[in-house]
Amino acid sequence: MPIYAHESIVDGVRAHPSPLDAELLSVLGEMAQLLLRVGHGCPFHCQECFKAMTTLPHTLFTLSSVYWGLVEAWVAFRERGSVEQTQDRNSRVLLVIFIGGGIYAATLITRRTSFLLPGSVGLHLLIGAIAIVFGTTFRLWSVLTLGRFFRTTVMIQQQHEVITSGPYRYLRHPSYTGILVNALGVGIGLGNWLALVILMVLVLVGLYQRIRVEEQVLSTALGQDYRAYMTRTKRLLPFIY
């Protein structure tokens, strides 16, 4: 989400999480069970996969997925009751669809193909867990830095201002960087390179549309301050993009 005290100037605005919020949380909650059915390119049929399901890496991957789900639940909960006009242009809807669809597609690909990543199942799960913990923590840091300006839908709030502290010093949308890292972790954890590629592409498409909408709204509302901020920061990846 953007950098203006806003990363997601979000639509903030419901007394209760929307069906889309619930759907995304459901998808995240089920991630902890994915590897009980899909492991290393097979539907839990080989001995290596069976052993991996009872190992420490699998436990860590499960816990990291739960951690991500809890953080997203908190983000949705903190917006309850807010009522403001949004300029979201359905970007949140599309983002949820692309993230949820990407995870679903990656799961199906892993179950039905054998495009295995190098290394063992345990290594995949361990790297995936580390990535998800890092991405979720980075996203949480971004939300806390923006404070009341963080919303899951695009909107301009009263006394809106550009935030340049914390992760926003270098990135305009660090909370989306966290989502991207989480998607990378999920893909690696599934252990299938084709699933990883498809998941990353779909998440990037959803994020690109979301960022495009946010930056248009912020540039219009905040003017030169935001445009100047854009010239000295990157969107998602430090020094790259």
Dump pLDDT digits (tens) for 159-178.
677 888 889 999 999 999 99
Which domain CATH number covers 60? Answer: 1.20.120.1630
Please report the DSSP string for 30-60 in residue order. HHHHHTTT-BTTBSS-SHHHHHHTTSHHHHH
pTM for the whole structure: 0.76
pLDDT of 13: 36
Number of domains making up the chain: 1
DSSP H or E run through 106: helix 91-112
User: Tokens in use for 26?
Assistant: 């459901």
Query: Would 13 be classed as within a structural domain?
Result: no
Query: Would 10 be classed as within a structural domain?
Result: no
Query: Would 173 be classed as within a structural domain?
Result: yes
Which of 133, 131, 232 has its CA nearest to residue 185?
A: 131
Helices 121-146 and 174-190: crossing angle, nearest 10°?
170
Dump pLDDT digits (tens) for 35-53.
444 444 454 455 555 555 5
C-alpha span between 186 and 51 (Å, rounded)? 20
Which of 42, 35, 6, 3 has its CA nearest to residue 151?
A: 6
pLDDT of 155: 65
Please give the residue range of the domain that contains residue 65.
19-231
Residue 192 backbone dihedrals phi, psi, to 5 degrees:
-125, 120
DSSP 159: T
C-alpha span between 223 and 40 (Å, rounded)? 50
Query: Would 60 be classed as within a structural domain?
Result: yes
pLDDT of 179: 96
Which of 108, 154, 129 has its CA nearest to residue 4?
A: 154
Query: Would 240 be classed as within a structural domain?
Result: no
C-alpha span between 131 and 171 (Å, rounded)? 19
pLDDT of 54: 54
- Contact (Cβ atoms closer than 8 angstroms) between residue 106 and residue 38: no
C-alpha span between 100 and 124 (Å, rounded)? 21
User: Of the ranges 43-52, 179-188, 226-235, which one carries the lowest mean pLDDT score?
Assistant: 43-52
Query: Would 145 be classed as within a structural domain?
Result: yes
Query: Would 222 be classed as within a structural domain?
Result: yes
- The length of the chain, given as a count of residues: 241
Query: Would 9 be classed as within a structural domain?
Result: no
